[in-house]
Amino acid sequence: MLDFFISSAWAADAPQQGGIMSLLPLFILFAVFWFFLIRPQMKQAKEHKTMVASLAKGDEVVTTGGLLGKIKEVGDNFIVLEIAKEVQVKVQKHSISATMPKGTIKTL
């Protein structure tokens, strides 16, 4: 009598296991993340590390804060940067964002 008002719920068939094909979207997603996010970031970090290691006295550099200056002293963790005539500041090596061509300061 209740079957008229409430239909019976029958169990569905078990889903078929696709094996490796069910993991394929996960592998594709990982490959996309690797080639578009992880790999370029690792390459950029490696380039920055080599640039910081090659800093020498007399190089003209720009810091992440936007200071442009000439390197006067190079230490293990810090460098002394001359930003104006007889105005020197001490900054961390890793805060250097780019090296500039020689003579950039004179053109400004």
Q: Where are the domains of the chain?
A: 23-54, 56-108
- The string of pLDDT tens digits covering residues 2-60 is 566 677 667 676 666 667 777 888 999 999 999 999 999 999 999 999 999 999 999 99
Based on the number of CB atoms within 10 Å of its own CB, is 51 exposed (0-12), middle (13-18) or buried (19 or more)?
A: middle
The set of residues, in sequence order, having a beta carbon less than 8 Å from that of 95 and lying 6+ positions away, is 63, 64, 65
Cβ atoms of residues 96 and 63 within 8 Å: yes
pLDDT of residue 21: 77
pLDDT of residue 17: 66
The two three-digit tokens of residue 54, written as one number: 């090659």
- Strands of the sheet containing 87-92, edge to edge, are 87-92, 78-84, 68-74, 60-63, 96-100
CATH architecture, range 56-108? Roll (2.30)
- The string of pLDDT tens digits covering residues 66-94 is 999 999 999 999 999 999 999 999 999 99
